[in-house]
Structure 1
Amino acid sequence: MRPPIVVSSLDMERLEDLLDSLPAAQAGVRATLLDELARAELVEPHDMPQDVVTMNSRVRFVLDDAPREFDMLLAYPKDVDGAPDKLSVLTPVGSALLGLKVGDSIDWTRPDGARFDVTVREIVYQPERAGELHR
């Protein structure tokens, strides 16, 4: 059972545009993220709970209960620019994080079929919480 997720209407609109523009070679990524977005609770940016991972949020998380904690910005692919602290929403971990709340864990499948768990530890920065509703 996957935890419920919350996505802002602005993020949803931008993600749908992104997914519509993906080449056929990324059909699997597109389908996975579309499935996840289909189950999301949609809210307006000003109504976004402060403990939810939104686009352009900086989030601390762990994979498979490993001791190493990651601190990364969930970004659109065009904004990643090879930065080591940015994570594309089109990656398996990025897709898994979107819409989760602090404390939530989700079991996710990589393209090679391997499974992993991701757990949100903290939202370090969330644009909506900072009043940046139209970033």
Structure 2
Amino acid sequence: MSVVGASDYSSLIDLAYAALSKDYDVAAELVGKLEKSLVVPDGQAPHDAVRIGSTVTFEVEGGFRRTIKLVDPDKIDVILARISVLTPIGVALLGLREGQCSQWFSRDGQAHHLTVVCVVQEAADLVL
């Protein structure tokens, strides 16, 4: 089960519904994932749960390993490996913790499986 902080849930659900009105193909998938997520008070989400701003290393079936930063759609940057939460892989990663697996479908409809290897939060997100 995905874990999402309350403020993140609020901003992500707003983003997802706005994307639905613009006919983004993964918006409905994001809404569905958020509706199934465990929403916890801010600051109580596990440190290793993927959220906006997380740097995530994951492994795709077959051993391909990649590190990306999950960002809002207006902050994407392919060169810096900043991937939008409004992409199939962004939705798949959201809320997962280290060691958890998920299935995602590429835009060509092909199913893939990934496993989260490592999650690093931005320093400003750390609660000591």
Could you tell me the TM-score, scaled by structure 1's length? 0.83
- Contact 1:54-1:126 within 8 A present in 2 as well: no
Q: CA deviation at 1:25?
A: 2.8
Question: Are 1:10 and 2:18 matched, yes or no?
Answer: no
Uncovered stretches (5+) of structure 1, i.e. residues with no partner:
none
Q: 2:23 aligns with which of 7, 22, 25?
A: 25
2:68 maps to 72
Q: CA deviation at 1:115?
A: 0.1
For 1:100 and 1:54, how far apart are their aligned partners in 2? 8
Deviations 1:18-60 (A, max 9, x none): 122224431x311111111111000122111112111110111
Q: How many residues align?
A: 127
**Secondary structure class of the residue paired with 2:51:** coil
Q: 1:53 aligns with which of 47, 50, 55?
A: 50
**Secondary structure class of the residue paired with 1:46:** coil
Question: Are 1:130 and 2:126 matched, yes or no?
Answer: yes
- Contact 1:105-1:118 within 8 A present in 2 as well: yes
- Contact 1:61-1:118 within 8 A present in 2 as well: yes
Question: Are 1:107 and 2:103 matched, yes or no?
Answer: yes
For 1:83 and 1:17, how far apart are their aligned partners in 2? 27
Question: Are 1:121 and 2:117 matched, yes or no?
Answer: yes
Given the superposition, is the C-alpha separation of residues 115 and 85 from structure 1 closer, same or farther in structure 2, using an over 3 Å criterion? same
Given the superposition, is the C-alpha separation of residues 78 and 72 from structure 1 closer, same or farther in structure 2, using an over 3 Å criterion? same
Q: 1:41 aligns with which of 35, 38, 42?
A: 38
RMSD: 2.0
